[in-house]
């Protein structure tokens, strides 16, 4: 057989789909076969003479240098994977097999582009992670934060937001919004000519590069927008958007496909979580006033007690019943009675902080929990404020309605250490207030009743 000539061998090397690279002791390319251009995006002459490490993704440089030291020490390394940044800015995943030749003072390595495999693996992992997040997340915000992390692992998504669209009320909101440059968008109807509106109305993904935003205006900061609608069986429930402010981060068709691919799973996860939260809300709240119901009140009291115990603070609990509520129903009808209970709920909420709990225990019975009370005497002041507030006339559907409350007041640690006994003591104190004629606050353990 004829010895193979050099030109033929060089041609064979250039025909290989994998790139053959030769690197000198200084870590510079001395040879890159033709496939290098397809994989790295640079013609071989733009790579030869330059340090290899400069082409490596910054996050992978350190472990790449460790691998190089191993190749030199052990003279070969059959599998090593790292990422390179192509000339067009895209990231490629490379699988290397390398051998060090001490005689020639070079290492010879073969690079295989495994980006497609990596992408497929990452997408599968992302789908799984999204479905896990839907189960694990406590609420929608936690789910969105988790989705942000998952997407950021697939494509550059530092600036990311979720838009949700309520078709019944024609209301677009932005419950999750992370942008290095601007404040969250205001919620509103779908009237505005925005990318979000386009995504939700059109139901199709959109990639807007800065050149396309306004070709007449030189834009100082290049911006790429990439958005996908969140589609479910019955329509579009919102959109996901990622945005780049940097010329180094540009989105391409591969990113569009990635975001589109995960968006169906995300839409499904959001819808499931919303359904779950709705059911949970119904189970824990009173349908008429939307206040926490007896079960949730008990949980809140138990949680507040645990925190007070840990922080060494106090808390106060009021049990409240309206005096002569029945005659309101009898005189004005049930609908007015309902309206009154709703207004009482609102007044009670106005009397306390957002961190306190107002709950409805039954009929005309309410509970107010003042958590993290630093001065026990504050509770009596709040109870008196509530009593006075409820004595002000109500206007229910044009009817002037007058009621007053009987209030039982207890405190931790003075009157009990556990939720149920504390609630029972407050209820007992409330009955004493009622027996004494109503429209007053009774403190647990006291026989003296403070008349208003
Ligand atoms: N409209 C309306 N009435 C309700 C609702 N739940 C309970 N009630 C009525 O509320 C009244 C509560 O009874 P009581 O607390 O014993 O009546 P009261 O007239 O306030 O009597 P005192 O508490 O002793 O002052 C009953 O007439 C119930 O029918 C409700 O959701 N809507």
Domain boundary at 90, 113, 136, which? 113
Domain boundary at 284, 319, 347, which? 284
Residues 431 and 348 in one domain: yes
Residue 443 in any domain: the answer is yes
Residues 211 and 360 in one domain: no
Residue 188 in any domain: the answer is yes
Domain boundary at 219, 249, 284, which? 284
**pLDDT tens digit sequence for 334-361:** 999 999 999 999 999 999 999 999 999 9
The CATH number given to whatever domain includes residue 27 is: 3.30.450.20
Asked if the model's pLDDT at residue 452 lies above 70, the reply is no
Residue 36 in any domain: the answer is yes
Ligand 1: which atom is nearest the Cα of residue 322?
A: 20
User: Which of the given ranges, 7-11, 223-227, 410-414, 424-428, has the highest pLDDT on average?
Assistant: 424-428
Residue 123 in any domain: the answer is yes
Mean pLDDT of 379-396: 96
The CATH number given to whatever domain includes residue 127 is: 3.30.450.40
Higher pLDDT, 222 or 35: 35
**What pLDDT does residue 1 have?**
46
**What pLDDT does residue 43 have?**
94
The CATH number given to whatever domain includes residue 398 is: 3.30.70.270
Residue 146 in any domain: the answer is yes
Residue 289 in any domain: the answer is no
Residue 250 in any domain: the answer is yes
Residue 321 beta carbon below 6 angstroms from any ligand 1 atom? yes
Ligand 1: which atom is nearest the Cα of residue 336?
A: 1
**pLDDT tens digit sequence for 234-263:** 899 999 999 988 777 888 888 898 899 899
Residues 321 and 423 in one domain: yes
Residues 134 and 278 in one domain: yes
Residue 326 beta carbon below 6 angstroms from any ligand 1 atom? yes
Residues 104 and 215 in one domain: no
**pLDDT tens digit sequence for 154-188:** 888 999 999 999 988 899 999 999 988 788 888 98
Residue whose CA lies nearest to ligand 1 atom number 31: 363
Mean pLDDT of 208-230: 70
Residues 309 and 256 in one domain: no
What's the mean pLDDT when you consider all of the chain?
A: 90
Asked if the model's pLDDT at residue 451 lies above 50, the reply is no
Asked if the model's pLDDT at residue 402 lies above 90, the reply is yes
Tokens of 298: 């008990």
Residues 103 and 10 in one domain: yes
Residues 178 and 84 in one domain: no
Asked if the model's pLDDT at residue 212 lies above 50, the reply is no
Q: Give the pLDDT band (50/70/90) at residue 218.
A: low
**What pLDDT does residue 221 have?**
55
Give the least confident one: 2-6, 206-210, 390-394. Answer: 2-6
- The whole domain housing 87 covers 6-113
Residues 90 and 141 in one domain: no
Residue 1 in any domain: the answer is no
**What pLDDT does residue 113 have?**
96
**pLDDT tens digit sequence for 120-158:** 998 899 999 999 998 899 899 999 999 999 999 888 899
Whole-prediction pTM value?
0.70
Residues 280 and 166 in one domain: yes
Residues 145 and 263 in one domain: yes
**What pLDDT does residue 3 have?**
63
Residues 301 and 406 in one domain: yes
Asked if the model's pLDDT at residue 193 lies above 90, the reply is no
Q: Which of 322, 363, 408, 437 to mutate to test the pocket of ligand 1 (most atoms within 8 A of CB)?
A: 363
Query: Number of folded domains in the chain?
Result: 3
Residue 364 beta carbon below 6 angstroms from any ligand 1 atom? yes
**What pLDDT does residue 97 have?**
94
């Amino acid at each position: 057989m004829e010895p193979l000539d050099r030109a033929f061998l060089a041609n064979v090397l250039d025909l290989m789909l994998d790139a053959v690279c030769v690197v000198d002791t200084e870590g510079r390319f001395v040879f890159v076969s033709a496939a290098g251009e397809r994989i790295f995006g640079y013609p071989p002459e733009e790579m030869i003479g330059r340090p290899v490490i400069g082409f490596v993704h910054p996050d992978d440089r350190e472990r790449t240098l460790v691998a190089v030291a191993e190749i030199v020490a052990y003279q070969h390394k059959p599998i090593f994977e790292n990422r390179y940044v192509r000339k067009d800015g895209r990231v490629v995943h490379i699988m290397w097999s390398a051998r060090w030749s001490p005689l020639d003072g070079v290492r010879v390595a073969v690079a295989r582009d495994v980006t497609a495999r990596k992408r497929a693996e990452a997408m599968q992992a992302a789908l799984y992670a999204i479905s896990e997040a839907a189960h694990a997340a406590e609420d929608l915000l936690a789910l969105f934060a988790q989705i942000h992390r998952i997407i950021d692992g697939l494509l550059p998504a530092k600036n990311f937001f979720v838009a949700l669209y309520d078709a019944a009320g024609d209301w677009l909101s932005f419950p999750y919004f992370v942008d290095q440059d601007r404040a969250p968008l205001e919620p509103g109807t779908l009237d505005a000519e925005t990318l979000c509106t386009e995504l939700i109305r059109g139901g199709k993904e959109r990639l807007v590069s800065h050149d396309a935003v306004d070709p007449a205006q030189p834009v100082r900061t290049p911006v790429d927008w990439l958005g996908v609608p969140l589609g479910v069986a019955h329509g579009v429930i919102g959109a996901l958007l990622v945005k780049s402010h940097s010329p180094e981060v540009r989105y391409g068709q591969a990113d569009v496909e990635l975001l589109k691919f995960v968006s169906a799973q995300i839409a499904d996860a959001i819808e499931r979580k919303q359904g779950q939260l709705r059911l949970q809300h119904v189970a824990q709240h009173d349908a008429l006033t939307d206040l926490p119901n007896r079960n949730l009140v008990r949980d809140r009291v138990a949680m507040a007690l645990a925190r007070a115990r840990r922080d060494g603070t106090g808390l106060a609990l009021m049990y409240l019943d309206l005096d002569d509520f029945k005659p309101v129903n009898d005189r004005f009808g049930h609908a007015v009675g309902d309206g009154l209970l709703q207004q009482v709920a609102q007044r009670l909420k106005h009397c306390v902080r957002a961190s306190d709990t107002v709950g409805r225990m039954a009929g005309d019975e309410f509970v107010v929990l003042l958590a993290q009370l630093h001065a026990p005497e504050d509770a009596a002041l709040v109870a008196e404020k509530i009593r006075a507030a409820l004595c002000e006339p109500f206007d229910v559907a044009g009817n002037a309605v007058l009621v007053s409350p009987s209030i039982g007041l207890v405190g931790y640690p003075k009157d009990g250490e556990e939720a149920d006994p504390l609630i029972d003591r407050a209820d007992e104190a409330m009955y004493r207030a009622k027996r004494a004629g109503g429209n007053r606050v009774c403190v647990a353990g006291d026989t003296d009743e403070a008349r208003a």
